């Protein structure tokens, strides 16, 4: 399959995808910074609430302080790196894929399935599908389109790689 040229997309398609990328990037970047700015922030509360498939892994993380610290660190800085990548359009594809995986892991920790009760109230009404899952899917969409080449620093990366071919 040939890689489509960026000009194969209509201007509207390009604008919309870049806008989506920046909006999701903004949200993820702020999620990262908000954790960084809260003194002693930890994912322990979220992990303790974990239900369903990943509850065992979450309990293991919580019971190992070293692992918990590593998870907290990677989560915060991972969110910041993904957010920066999406806003700047730099390494957009890896950023979008990592973001989608991270959000999907969040989703698997507290999916709104029938019968799962959470002590922390959610801000919306969900049945199986939550906004986290939708945002993860939005990142999958961004991963399959070269939005970094429409507008973003990936243009320079692309030029640099072509020059060195």
Query: What does the binding site for other proteins look like in residue numbers (CB under 8 A)?
Result: 18, 22, 25-26, 29-30, 33, 37, 39-40, 42, 44, 63-66, 68-69, 84, 87-90, 150-153, 155-156
Pairwise CA distance, residues 139 & 164, whole Å: 29
In eight-state DSSP terms, residue 32 is H
Phi, psi of 146 (to 5 degrees): -85, 60
Show the beta-strand stretches assigned E in 36-112.
none
The answer to whether the Cα torsion of 30, 139, 103, 73 is positive or negative is negative
Pairwise CA distance, residues 139 & 25, whole Å: 10
| Least Å from the CB of residue 26 to other proteins | 6
| Least Å from the CB of residue 101 to other proteins | 22
Query: Which CB sits closer to other proteins, 68 or 133?
Result: 68
In eight-state DSSP terms, residue 127 is B
Query: Which CB sits closer to other proteins, 111 or 148?
Result: 148
Query: Which CB sits closer to other proteins, 140 or 151?
Result: 151
| Least Å from the CB of residue 1 to other proteins | 25
| Least Å from the CB of residue 74 to other proteins | 15
Query: Which CB sits closer to other proteins, 40 or 164?
Result: 40
Pairwise CA distance, residues 165 & 161, whole Å: 6
């Amino acid at each position: 399959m040939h890689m489509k040229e960026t000009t194969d997309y209509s201007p509207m398609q390009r604008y919309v995808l870049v806008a989506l990328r920046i909006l999701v990037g903004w949200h993820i970047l702020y999620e990262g910074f908000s954790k960084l700015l809260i003194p002693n922030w930890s994912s322990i509360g979220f992990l303790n609430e974990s239900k369903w498939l990943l509850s065992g892994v979450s309990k293991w993380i919580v019971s190992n302080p070293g692992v918990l610290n590593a998870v907290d660190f990677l989560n915060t800085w991972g969110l910041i790196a993904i957010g920066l990548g999406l806003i700047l359009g730099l390494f957009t594809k890896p950023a979008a894929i990592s973001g989608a995986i991270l959000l999907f892991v969040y989703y698997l920790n507290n999916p709104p399935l029938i019968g799962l009760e959470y002590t922390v109230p959610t801000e919306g009404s969900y049945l199986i599908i939550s906004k986290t899952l939708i945002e993860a899917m939005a990142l999958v969409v961004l991963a399959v389109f070269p939005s970094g080449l429409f507008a973003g620093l990936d243009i320079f990366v692309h030029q640099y790689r072509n020059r060195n071919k």
